[in-house]
Amino acid sequence: MGQLSADYQLCEQGKNQSPVNLTKAVTSHNSVEYQYQPSNVSLVNNGHTLQASLQSANNQLKIDDKTFTLQQFHFHTLSEHQFQGKHFPVEIHFVHKSETGELAVLAVMVKEGKANSVLEELLHNPLNVNEKMALAQPLDITKLLPRSKGHYRLNGSLTTPPCSEGVNWVVLQQPISASSEQIRSLSHTLGNNNRPVQPINARIVVSE
């Protein structure tokens, strides 16, 4: 039997892998704050997801005493995390990095409902695989966030190889909405690019 590629070993053998099914949490006061502003964005369809890279250092996520700067956000269809065993149609990952290279991901669920104006901008000109495009106007990414900052927090991993662990996950509890047409457009572009849920093992999920 062949050995797993080093790129995939942690994906198979890691004990703190993401995503997970969020079923219960310990209620605790924990400091999570984020502040985003309209930013210039370049889009790419990299063959796995639609990714938006940002050209501003002023979009930040603060977890306890650590500051992380937003690098990019991308989409998964269906959602990767589950709430009580249920998927959402879409999940958005806002990927941040600290000065020391530590990663933090803010995850936002998307449900079917009212159209989202920012998604409309992002999906206006569908990109084929490996196509890139810079948006003409700064994007107000706050419109991809719910009003409530209630969240789940846990340690996890990247959801694609090398599945590196030590990632700080903040999963917002309140979803945003997108129209059925917008969800269909994302699903058509991405296919099913979600990783199955992984065992929670000994991890504790904290909610606020």
Question: What pLDDT, on a 0 to 100 scale, did the predictor assign at position 31?
Answer: 83
User: Is 87 a residue of the active site?
Assistant: no
Q: Is residue 116 part of a domain?
A: yes
Q: Is residue 203 part of a domain?
A: no
Q: Is residue 17 part of a domain?
A: no
Number of domains in the chain: 1
Q: Is residue 24 part of a domain?
A: no
Question: What pLDDT, on a 0 to 100 scale, did the predictor assign at position 169?
Answer: 98
Domain of 177? Answer: 32-148+169-194
Question: What pLDDT, on a 0 to 100 scale, did the predictor assign at position 87?
Answer: 98
Residues 6+ apart with CB under 8 A from 3: none
For the chain (208 residues), the mean pLDDT of every run of 10, in chain order, is 64 97 88 94 96 92 96 98 98 98 99 98 92 95 96 97 97 98 96 97 94
Candidate list 48, 74, 81, 188, residue with the active-site label: 48
Q: Tokens for 177?
A: 């909405």
CB-CB neighbours of 55 under 10 Å: 10
- CATH code for position 75: 3.10.200.10
Question: What pLDDT, on a 0 to 100 scale, did the predictor assign at position 57?
Answer: 86
DSSP state of 40: -
Question: What pLDDT, on a 0 to 100 scale, did the predictor assign at position 8?
Answer: 77
User: Is the link from the previous residue into 54 a cis peptide, with omega within 30 of 0?
Assistant: no
Q: Is residue 204 part of a domain?
A: no
pTM score, two decimals?
A: 0.95
